[in-house]
Amino acid sequence: MASTVAPDVIQLWEAFKADTSNQELRNRLVELYLPLVKYNGERVWSRLPDGVELDDLISAGVFGLMDAIDAFDLSRGVKFETYCVPRIRGAMLDELRSMDWVPRLVRSKANKLNEAMKALDAKLGRQPTPDELSAHLEISVQELDRMIHDANAVGLTSLQKKWYESDNSNDIREIDLLADKKGEDPTRSLQKNDLMRLVTKGLNRNERLIIILYYYEELTMKEIGGTLNLSESRVSQMHSSIVSRLQSQLEGRRREFAA
């Protein structure tokens, strides 16, 4: 150990190396060098895209630190800080690789494709055609299609990706911001109900059911007739009569609907 290391730290190391099964001494060493893990974790994390948690990097770095503590040789006269940092960073990078499900070769091709597109765009002043792009990359159009297909996987986004944290500490994730295209718009639902009440106002029971079953439940005339115990032709006649009456009633309120 270098002479700059405090005597009590040297004694701690010597005590641990004399009894490597002593978890208390091991934990004290981990606590002593934990700031190194946090410092390197923040440096790595600052260069990463959104979606990577700093805590995950620090957790991986702690495992790297513990491995370094176990493997460190006091007799070599090397500062532990110098020895452990590559192991800490290596553990963090291993964690990042395990989190990245896209194969490294695919990501490399995606980067190469992106650089080629940028270069040709700057040169031509427009987006390159597939033929121009394949010629620039010196590959066939078929190989280019496969490269583009593989590159699309790199751009996939995790639905658990965090956008920001709200005031009540509930993280806002990608999935929370996606529109539910299958969900019904509550405003549209209210408007639909209001229109149904307006249209069916003044109709008797059978007339109201014909309008609701035909326009809202989308039943056929035959199905409505079976429900009301009427013939299909009778339902059709009643429907035509109802529509004619409604058109006359609503004609006078056209300005109201336009507003």
Q: What's the whole-number average pLDDT of the chain? A: 78
* Res. 14: pLDDT tops 70: yes
Q: What pLDDT score was predicted for residue 176?
A: 54
State the span(s) of the chain assigned CATH 1.10.1740.10: 7-99
Mean pLDDT of 218-223: 88
Q: What pLDDT score was predicted for residue 255?
A: 58
**% of the chain beyond a pLDDT of 70:** 71
CA distance 37 to 84: 9
* CATH number, span 7-99: 1.10.1740.10
Q: What pLDDT score was predicted for residue 97?
A: 74
φ/ψ of residue 175, rounded to 5: -65, -25
Asked whether the CA dihedral 9, 13, 19, 21 is positive or negative, the reply is: positive
Residue 81 corresponds to which amino acid?
Answer: E
**pLDDT tens per residue across span 116-174:** 888 888 888 888 888 888 888 888 888 888 777 766 655 444 445 554 444 444 555 54
Q: What pLDDT score was predicted for residue 166?
A: 46
Q: What pLDDT score was predicted for residue 218?
A: 84
The topology under which CATH files domain 104-177 is Butyryl-CoA Dehydrogenase, subunit A; domain 3 (1.20.140)
Residues making up the chain, counted from first to last: 259
CA distance 158 to 52: 11
Mean pLDDT of 219-245: 88
Q: What pLDDT score was predicted for residue 3?
A: 42
User: What confidence category does residue 2 fall into, taking pLDDT thresholds of 50, 70 and 90?
Assistant: very low
Q: Name the region of 45 (left: φ>0; alpha: ψ -120 to 50; beta: rest).
A: alpha
CA distance 17 to 32: 16
Q: What pLDDT score was predicted for residue 106?
A: 61
Cα 18 from chain centroid (whole Å): 49
Q: What pLDDT score was predicted for residue 56?
A: 87
Span of 37-41, 69-73, 101-105, 234-238 with lowest mean pLDDT? 101-105
Higher pLDDT, 105 or 21: 21
State the span(s) of the chain assigned CATH 1.20.140.160: 104-177, 186-258
Q: Which of 195, 190, 221 is closest to 209 using CA atoms? A: 221
The topology under which CATH files domain 186-258 is Butyryl-CoA Dehydrogenase, subunit A; domain 3 (1.20.140)
CA distance 68 to 198: 77
Q: Exposed (0-12), middle (13-18) or buried (19+): which is 107, by Cβ within 10 Å?
A: middle
CA distance 156 to 102: 10
**pLDDT tens per residue across span 172-191:** 554 454 555 555 566 766 76
**pLDDT tens per residue across span 104-113:** 556 667 778 8
